[in-house]
């Protein structure tokens, strides 16, 4: 899978852009605030229907315009597919083969990307919410059932929290309706936990191979899914559902007092262990970065395994955050495997040595100029 071409209309600082890309490595060179990350963000939005940088869609529209359009032609095993995302003050529209999709969730999965930005190096040492978001975003791309269950769970969780607040302030006293919401939440929650465990085991397999390669077999990387559910990895969906039901029932009084849901996969975490020790607590900064790199690169193989096609890789100024050894491993891993978009103010010596025949674009104030010679020497 690769992105053949991209068209932007009134997107961020791009007024009218039409560009074709290499199926290999595309380098976006330019100083800060010129539009490198905006271009990467547009590709991400074309994949996920939402930005990784803001929850306010209006920020995607050029400041003096009323709508933004992103169009892309994606080459897949079964042929080229035109995709389109329209953003305006009323919301978003997504089109596949020029046909508008009834729901945005039906669109996701048409074009898979993996984004690796400097903040992703905080995947290991960041808060649990960072890791939950990582799991949900990546697994949601490759499995429509997971995405559906997650959407339903979030909707019911929001309703349940609102109702708990009503009970907390004694604006309502009907516990039967709370039981109905709890039952629905437990049903979708059990599906989510079960699917997370399966995908994390697959991701662990690929991540550990990469970790061993980087550290010359000195480190073994394993994952631990941290949940309040007992023996979750050995439970059926029905058993997980029963546990969640029971946990929600036992927590009812405390939840009403606090006005929020205290049990469920929205509170779970993922721990990364090197040689059996939690990297977040006991790992050095170097080990934490190597782990984050291994986990992100493992996504490439997991997506290939699940979808049959490699995703597109977006590297947003990440080389400057990695030392020579990790830069080398990253570039060797992606070379001749996945279409890559790499933003950077300038190319490091390592990148110049390892990247073969990239397509290079210079970006200045939302304008792209392609280098004639495909060389970085």
Output the known binding site for ATP.
Answer: 30-37
Collapsing DSSP states into helix, strand and coil, what is residue 364?
A: strand
Residue 199 corresponds to which tokens in the numbers above? 């995908």
CA distances from 140 to 280, 301, 375 (A): 25, 16, 37
Distance from first CA to last CA of the chain, Å, rounded? Answer: 28
Cα(99)–Cα(112) distance, integer angstroms: 19
Strand-by-strand arrangement of the 91-96 sheet: 14-20, 2-11, 67-76, 79-88, 91-96, 99-100
Length of the chain as a residue count = 377
Residues belonging to the binding site are 30-37
202 forms bridges with which residues in the sheet? none
**Residue 41: closest CA among 16, 75, 6:** 6
Q: Which residue has the tokens 């929600």?
A: 248
Q: Which helix (H) or strand (E) holds 15?
A: strand 14-20
**Residue 128: closest CA among 292, 267, 282, 263:** 267
User: Percent helix, strand, coil in the chain (nearest 5)?
Assistant: 50, 25, 30
Helices (H), 26-143: 36-48, 104-107, 128-142
| CB burial string 114-152: b at 16+ within 10 A, e below | bbbbeebbebbbbeeebbbebbbbbbbbbbeebbbbbeb
- The torsion region of residue 163 among left (phi > 0), alpha (psi -120 to 50) and beta comes to alpha
DSSP secondary-structure letter at 88? E
Cα(84)–Cα(96) distance, integer angstroms: 7
């Amino acid at each position: 899978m690769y992105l053949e071409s991209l068209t932007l209309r009134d997107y961020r600082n791009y007024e009218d852009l039409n560009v074709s890309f290499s199926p290999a490595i595309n380098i976006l060179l330019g100083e800060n605030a010129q539009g490198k990350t905006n271009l990467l963000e547009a590709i991400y939005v074309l994949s996920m229907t939402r930005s990784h940088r803001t929850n306010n869609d209006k920020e995607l529209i050029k400041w003096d315009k009323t709508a933004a359009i992103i169009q892309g032609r994606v080459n897949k095993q079964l042929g080229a597919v035109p995709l389109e995302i329209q953003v305006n003050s009323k919301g978003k529209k997504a089109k596949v083969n020029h046909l508008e999709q009834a729901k945005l969730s039906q669109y996701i999965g048409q074009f898979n990307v993996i984004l690796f930005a400097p903040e992703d190096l905080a995947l290991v040492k960041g808060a649990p919410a960072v890791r939950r978001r990582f799991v949900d975003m990546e697994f949601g791309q490759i499995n429509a059932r997971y995405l559906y269950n997650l959407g339903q769970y979030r909707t019911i969780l929001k309703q349940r929290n609102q109702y708990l607040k009503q009970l907390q302030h004694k604006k309502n006293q009907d516990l039967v309706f709370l039981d109905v919401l709890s039952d629905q939440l437990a049903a979708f929650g059990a599906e989510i936990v079960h699917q997370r465990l399966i995908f994390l085991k697959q991701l662990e397999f690929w991540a550990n191979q990469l970790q061993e390669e980087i550290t010359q077999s000195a480190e073994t990387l394993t994952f631990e899914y941290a949940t309040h559910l007992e023996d979750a990895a050995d439970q059926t969906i029905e058993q997980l559902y029963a546990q969640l039901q029971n946990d929600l029932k036992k927590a009812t009084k405390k939840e009403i007092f606090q006005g929020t849901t205290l049990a469920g996969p929205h509170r779970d975490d993922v721990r990364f262990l090197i040689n059996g020790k939690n990297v977040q607590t006991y790992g050095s900064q170097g080990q934490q970065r190597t782990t984050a790199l291994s986990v992100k690169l493992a996504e490439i193989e997991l997506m290939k395994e699940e979808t049959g096609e490699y995703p597109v890789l977006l590297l947003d100024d990440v080389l400057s955050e990695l030392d020579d050894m990790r830069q080398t491993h990253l570039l060797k891993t992606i070379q001749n495997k996945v279409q890559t978009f790499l933003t950077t103010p300038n190319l490091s010596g390592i990148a110049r040595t390892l990247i073969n025949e990239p397509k290079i674009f210079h970006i200045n104030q939302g304008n792209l100029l392609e280098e004639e010679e495909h060389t970085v020497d």
